[in-house]
Structure 1
Amino acid sequence: MTTSPLAARPGAVVAEGATVAAHLGDPLREQRLLAEGAGWVDRSDRDVLTVPGADRLTWLHSLTSQHLERLADGTGTEALVLSPHGHVEHHLVLTELGGTTWADVEPGTGAALLTFLQRMVFMLRVEPALVTDAWALLSLVGPRAPEVLTAASLPAPEAPHAVAALPGGGWVRRMPSLGDGGATALDLLVPRAGLVAVADALTAAGAGAAGLDAYEALRVEARRPRLGLDTDHRTIPNELEWLTTAVHLEKGCYRGQETVARVHNLGRPPRRLVLLHLDGVSEELPVPGTQVRSGARDVGRAGTVVRHHELGVVALALVKQSVGPDAELTVGGSRAVVDPDDVPATVDDTRAAARDRVRAVRSATIGR
C-alpha cells in the first residue's frame, strides 16, 4: 500500500515501513487533544473487505465466533476467525449497511482473510472482496467528536456500534469509548480518493489532527488489544476482552468453539491481559513480543508499549495467571508493575499495595 496523502502534511512523522503518520510533531499534545477535545486520526492503513450477497450473514455466522444471522442494517459488531484449536487468526470489526457487510481488519491481514473466505464460499451467494485500494478509514476521537460531525453536516450515531451512511458513500460508525476518560470514538469509512477532503472538512468543523501514536495511547489505556501486537500464535479469546466483544457464547458450532467453551467453563484461561506500568528508564520502548520476566522466569509477553500523557510508559501484556499482584516484573531493561485495576479485587489492601507500587515506578520515571 502506498503512503497516505495525509502523511505529507507539515510536521507529519511516518515510522519506517508505515503508511500513516505516527505523530505530527507533538505526540503528547495530540493525546490530550483526543482525550479532552476532538481530533481526527488517519487509520487508512487498515485493510477493508466487503461481503455482498444474499447469504452473507448466515455464511459469516458459520465461520466466525460472533452471532451474525440477524445483524441489523445500520449496526456493527466484532468477530474472530479462529484456528481449529481456538487460537485467534483474524479480528474483524464488522459493519452491516445497505445489503453489504464490511470488515475492517489489521493492516496487511486482508489478503490472508480474503483467501480464507474464498475457500469457504462453495455454492453460496456471497462475493467477498478486498477493497482497501478504494476505501479508507479515519477515526474522530474526543468528547467533542459528535459536535464536530454535526458542524460538518455529517451524521453522528449515538449508540456504540450504531452506523449511519455518509453522503457520497461510506459510513460513520460509533465505537466503544477510548481511554479511561471515555473519549467518544467514531470511525468514518470514506472513498480513498476523498480522504484529504474529509479530513479538511473535519478540521474546518473544529477537529485537530493527531497521529496514530495518540490513538494507540488511548487504546492501550482502555485495554483494547490489537491482533499481532497484543496477541501471539497461542492467544485464545478467553485471555482478552474479545470474549465479551467478539464472541457469542451461546451460538452454534464454529471453528475453535470447543476450546473457547471448555476454557470458559473452567473459568481460568492460561494467561490474562493486563496493563503494566514501566519505569521508563530506557529511552527505547520495548517492542511487541518482548518477554515479561519475574526474576529469571519468563511469565508473559509485552504487546503495545506507549508513552502516555498522564500514565507515563505503559504496556499491554499477556501474563500467566500465576503472576501475583505483588510480582516484581521486568520488561526489557525496565521495571514493571501491574495496574491496580487489573489486580483481583478480593483483598482491598492488595489493590492499595498495587497502587503504591505504581506510584513508585512512575516516580522513577519522573525523577530521571
Structure 2
Amino acid sequence: MTDATRVSPFLGLPGAVEGEGPNAGAPAHYGALVAEQRPLERGGAVVDLGNLGVIRLRGADRLTWLDSLTSGLVRSLAPGESGETLLLDVQGRIEHAAAVLDDGESTWLVTEGTRADEFASWLDRMRFLLDVRVERADEIVAAVGVFGDRELGAAAPNGVPLVWHDEWASTRVGGVSYATTDAHPGRDWDLHVHLLERPALEALAERVRVGDVSAAGIDALEALRIAAWRPRLARDVDSRAIPHELDWTRSAVHLEKGCYRGQETVAKVHNLGRPPRRLVHLDLDGSLGALPAAGAVLHVAGDPDRAVVGQITSIGVHHENGPIALALVKRRLDPEAVLAADLDGEGITAAQTAIVSPEAGHAADVPRLPRLGRRSG
C-alpha cells in the first residue's frame, strides 16, 4: 500500500484492485483487464497515476541548473511547454527519468514514485549556492493520465494549467531515433498527464463513481505503452541501461546541448560505437494460458544450451495483439530468431520485432583516416 496520507480516492472505487511494485498507489484495473484499454486509447477514459511522484523546483536558476545536470534540453522551456530528461551516472547509465513541465514560476518533475525520494534528495544536494529549492509536491498535486487534449481540472498555481504532453509520437529536436521503421507504433501515442490538486482529484474520482467519467487501470496503460515501444524507468531500465539501448535518445536526450553528467558516453556510443544491447518487442504465445513475469530470461528457441540472450522487461496483454512484451537482448542476436522464456518447465515462444536497430549508432561506420606518416600504395 501507499503512504496513508496520499491514498488515491480511485482505489476506493468499485472493483478497484491496487497495482503492485512500481504500480502500487494506483488501481491496476477495475475488473476488466483488457476491455479497459479501448476507451482509454480513444480518449474516453482517465487513468489514475497515483503511483507516480511529483517534485517541484523553485528559484530563478531552476531550469538552467536542471539542464546542466540532465540529458534533455530544458533550459529554454516556455511556460506550459513539455519536456523530458534523464539523469545519468558518469558512465552514461540511466539513474532517473522525469517528465518536465514549467509554469513560469516553478518546474514540475513527474517521475516514478518508488524513486522520487532518492531523486529529490540527489537534486537537493546539487543546489550549492544557486537559487534553487527542491521539494516533494505529492501532498499538493497528483497525476492523472488521458489520451488526447481533454479538460480534467488541472492545477494552475501560476495561471498555467499543469498538463504535460508526452511527445513520444515523434523525435524531438536534438534527438535521434534508432528505430528500425518509419511506421513507428508510437506515432499515435498522445498521452497527457494532468496534475490535479487533491480536492480536484477527489471530485474526479466521484465523477467516475457516479458514471459521468470512465476510468481505466494502469495495466491498461501499460499494455498500450508496450505496444507503442515506449520505455519506462521502473520496468525497462536496469543498472546497466543506457539511453541508446531503449531508443530514449528519441525523446529525452539532446545530442547537441552543453555538458552534463554522462554526456561523454552518450556522444561516444552515438558517434563511434554501438550500444551493447537493444530493445525488442515480443509477440508471445499465449496458448498455455499463463505468461512469464517481467525479469524472465530469454534464449533462442531450440537452443540445446539455452544460452541467455536477453530478458523480458515489460509484459502485458493487448486488446488487439494479445500477449506482448518488451525485452532487452544482446545487440548481435539474430533479429529473425524465435525466442523462448521458461514458465513452470514449459517454453513460451516469442516472435521478436526489432525496436532499436542492431546497427544503432549511425555514425559508427565513419572510415578511419590513415595514421600520420603511414604510406599508402
Q: TM-score range by the shorter chain?
A: 0.7 to 0.9
- For residues 47 and 90 of structure 2, what CA distance do their matches in structure 1 show? 36
Q: Which amino acid aligns with 2:315?
A: V
The whole-number CA distance in structure 2 between the counterparts of 1:252 and 1:35 is 37
Q: 1:71 and 1:62 mapped to 2: Cα distance?
A: 14
Work out whether residues 168 and 250 of structure 2, in 8 Å CA contact, stay in contact via their aligned partners in 1. no
Q: Could you tell me the percent identity over the aligned residues?
A: 41
Deviation at 1:167, TM superposition (A): 9.7
What is aligned with 1:46? Answer: 52
Aligned to 2:350: 336
**RMSD over equivalenced CA pairs, Å:** 2.6
Unaligned runs of 5+ in 1: 156-163, 346-368
CA 1:252–1:180: 2 relative to 1, 3 Å: closer
Q: Identify the match of residue 263 of structure 2 among 253, 257, 260.
A: 257
Q: Does 1:304 align with 2:318?
A: no
Distance across 2 between alignment mates of 1:331 and 1:189: 39
Name the CA distance, whole Å, in 1 between partners of 2:157 and 2:34: 31
Deviations 1:305-361 (A, max 9, x none): 00111111000111111111221211233101113777789xxxxxxxxxxxxxxxx
Of 192-201 and 222-231, deviating more is 192-201
Tell me what 2:195 maps to.
Answer: 189
Number of positions where the alignment pairs a residue of Structure 1 with one of Structure 2: 330
| Other-structure match for 1:358 | none
Residues 81, 275 of structure 1: alpha-carbon distance in 2 compared, 3 angstrom cutoff: same
Report the equivalent of 1:172: 163
Q: Determine the structure 1 residue equivalent to 2:324.
A: 314
SS at match of 2:250: helix
Match of 2:313, SS?
Answer: strand
Secondary structure of the structure 2 residue equivalent to 1:332: strand
* Aligned counterparts, 1:181-260, within 5 A: 182=188, 184-200=190-206, 207-260=213-266
Instruction: Answer yes or no: is 1:121 the counterpart of 2:121.
Output: no
Structure 2: gaps spanning 5 or more residues: 170-184, 360-377
The 5 A counterparts of 1:1-368 are: 1-2=3-4, 3-16=7-20, 18-141=24-147, 145-146=148-149, 148-149=150-151, 165=156, 171-176=162-167, 182=188, 184-200=190-206, 207-294=213-300, 295=303, 296-333=306-343, 334-339=348-353
Q: How much does 1:7 deviate?
A: 0.9
Q: 1:73 to 1:25 in 2, by over 3 A?
A: same
CA distance in 1, matches of 2:127, 2:102: 19
Distance 1:43 1:173, change over 3 A: same
TM-score (norm 2): 0.80
Distance 1:119 1:304 in 2: 32
| CA distance, structure 2, for counterparts of residue 266 and residue 342 of structure 1 | 17
Q: Counterpart of 1:22 in 2: which secondary structure?
A: strand
Between structures 1 and 2, the one with greater helix share = 1
1:269 deviation in Å? 1.0
> Scaled by the length of structure 1, what TM-score is found?
0.82
- Specify the SS of the correspondent of 1:339: strand
Question: Relative to structure 1, is the Cα distance of residues 180 and 269 closer, same or farther in structure 2, using a 3 angstrom cutoff?
Answer: closer
Aligned pair in 2 of structure 1 residues 85, 109: CA closer, same or farther (>3 Å)? same
